[in-house]
């Protein structure tokens, strides 16, 4: 269960313990690392002798999938999971199948840019936090850019106590190859450096992005940089830079980030909402918690973007204020304002959110409201939601989004799940949008010894309209 380094001599390992008291919602830590999460303040477990011998372990998961409906086909594939050392793991896949994976639903809220949609495919969830790092510019690696592929390799972990490596590669028989190579060297408990290469090779061209990411900290002072030059079709393209300097006190945090992306910067496997701008992002944050009284937690945040195009024209001047408050009664209140200029538009948007039972992941409900003016049009956006578990087996979730803006849109999502046993369950989801409805119903038997199998009616991909499809998938682990 635990990753640990190899060593012939006893080691000192970081250790901590936490306790949550549900009645008062108080979280206590044995070694208090604080809001700032200074992990060098963890306790030290000294004189630990790791197991002397480790035999690499391999798990083989071949599958067979049959599909009937608008498309009739049968396919098979293999996943191999490997624990090569106590701290280095990986996955190798041949003909992976993601048709039975419940995909994330893209929101309908207004955005000047492409919306971010997370990836739920298991192959890319392995080591996701190691490969992916979000910045103000976006994410230099965004796995949904890699669609179907034929073989994949994903190994990541520590090769030495302070050195980590990751290799992710997805190859298609049509000649396309997508990959990420990443290395991290830790120098002290607070200083490190990461180097990444993110690439795509195709028959008609290629694209490579190189990311250098050093991080330094001295007490509460942080300094971190992402510099990313790119190559496109064998030629030098533009680069991107994100330099962040911040101070994190016990209650107040503040910082400023200088950043730019040149007009010709290209990152085919990244999520980069905008290019051709440069400027500053400044912020001030206050947070506190109380163990007694009506208020349990409060976070206040002030942000300001000031950016221009490389030709000198104005890109955006956007201030915003946020306030999040949690009460002792487990209610959450959020207030938000965003204004300023985005290119030729003057924005002024207010937001309010109310939630009940915020610390209970099985029983919670709430509503959000945004109103004002954005991109030259009046905006109203309402988002009610509820998640509730009845007894120990049946769970229901419902969420709606109703947008009145440049165009009026609605989205309604209903999710249900019933646990027959610990290993068996019935579940499904319906997504209703203005232009189409998607739905699926599934039965699964997985997670424990023996054979895993799945039966799905419909399609788990919310981007596709409902069709009378039947999927039957069988996985036999060895």
pLDDT at residue 310 tops 90? yes
Identify the bridge partners of residue 255 per DSSP, sorted by sequence position: 246, 283
Locus of tokens 């050195």: 163
Which sign, positive or negative, has the C-alpha torsion 128, 130, 131, 132? Answer: positive
Domain ranges across the chain: 1-53, 58-75+384-478
pTM of the model: 0.92
**Residues 389, 392, 393, 395: what is their CA dihedral angle, to the nearest 10 degrees?**
10
pLDDT of residue 277: 97
Q: What is the pLDDT of residues 113-166, one digit of tens each?
A: 999 999 999 999 988 989 988 899 999 999 999 998 999 999 999 988 899 999
> pLDDT tens digit string along 63-119?
999 999 888 989 999 999 998 888 899 999 999 989 889 999 999 999 999 999 999
Mean local confidence (pLDDT), 351-366:
95
Does the pLDDT of residue 240 top 90, yes or no?
Answer: yes
Kindly tell me if the per-residue pLDDT of 347 is higher than 90. yes
Nearest Cα residue to 282 out of 251, 332, 244? 244
**CA–CA gap between residue 426 and residue 183 (Å, rounded):** 42
Nearest CA to 243 among 229, 255, 231, 230? 255
How, if at all, do strands 73-85 and 437-445 pair?
unpaired
Residues paired with residue 427 on neighbouring β-strands, in sequence order = 417, 442
Q: Measured between alpha carbons, how far apart are the two ends of the chain, in Å?
A: 19
Q: What is the pLDDT of residue 367?
A: 98
């Amino acid at each position: 269960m635990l990753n640990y380094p190899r060593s012939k001599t006893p080691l000192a390992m970081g250790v901590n313990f936490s306790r949550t008291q549900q009645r008062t919602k108080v979280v206590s830590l044995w070694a208090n690392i604080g809001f700032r999460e200074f992990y060098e303040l963890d306790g030290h477990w000294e004189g630990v002798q790791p197991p002397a011998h480790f035999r690499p372990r391999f798990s083989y998961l071949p599958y067979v999938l049959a599909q009937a409906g608008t498309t009739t086909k049968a396919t098979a594939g293999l996943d191999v999971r490997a624990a090569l050392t106590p701290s280095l793991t990986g996955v190798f896949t041949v003909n992976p199948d993601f048709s039975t994976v419940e995909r994330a639903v893209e929101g309908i809220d207004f955005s000047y840019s492409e919306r971010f949609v997370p990836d739920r495919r298991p192959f890319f969830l392995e080591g996701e936090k190691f490969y992916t790092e979000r910045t103000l510019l976006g994410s230099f690696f965004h796995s949904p850019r890699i669609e179907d592929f034929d073989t994949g390799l994903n190994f990541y972990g520590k090769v030495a106590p302070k050195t980590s490596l990751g290799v992710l590669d997805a190859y298609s028989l049509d000649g396309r190859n997508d990959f990420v190579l990443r290395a991290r060297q830790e120098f002290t408990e607070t200083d490190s450096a990461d180097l990444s290469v993110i690439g795509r090779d195709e028959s008609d061209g290629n694209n490579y992005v190189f990311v250098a990411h050093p991080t330094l900290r001295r007490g509460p002072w942080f300094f971190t940089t992402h510099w990313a030059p790119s190559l496109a079709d064998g030629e030098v393209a533009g680069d991107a830079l994100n330099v962040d300097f911040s101070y994190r006190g016990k209650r107040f945090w503040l910082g400023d980030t200088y950043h730019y992306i040149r007009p010709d910067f290209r990152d085919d496997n990244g999520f980069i909402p905008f290019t051709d701008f440069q400027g500053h992002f400044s912020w001030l944050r206050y947070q506190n918690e109380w163990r007694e009284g009506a208020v349990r937690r409060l976070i206040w945040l002030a942000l300001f973007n000031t950016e221009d195009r490389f030709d000198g024209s104005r890109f955006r001047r956007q201030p915003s204020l946020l306030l999040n408050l949690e009460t002792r009664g487990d209610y959450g209140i959020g207030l938000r304002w965003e204004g300023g200029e985005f290119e030729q538009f003057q924005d002024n948007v207010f937001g309010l959110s109310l939630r009940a039972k915020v610390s209970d992941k099985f029983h919670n409900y709430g509503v959000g409201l945004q109103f004002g003016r954005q991109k030259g049009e009046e905006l109203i956006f309402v988002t009610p939601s509820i998640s509730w578990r009845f007894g120990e087996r049946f769970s229901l979730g419902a969420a709606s989004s109703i947008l009145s803006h440049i165009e009026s849109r609605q989205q309604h999502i209903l999710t249900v799940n019933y646990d027959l046993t610990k290993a068996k369950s019935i579940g499904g989801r319906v997504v209703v949008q203005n232009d189409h409805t998607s739905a699926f119903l599934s039965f699964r038997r997985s997670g424990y010894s023996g054979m895993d199998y799945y039966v799905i009616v419909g399609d788990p991909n919310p981007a596709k309209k409902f069709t009378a499809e039947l999927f039957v998938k069988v996985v036999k682990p060895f």
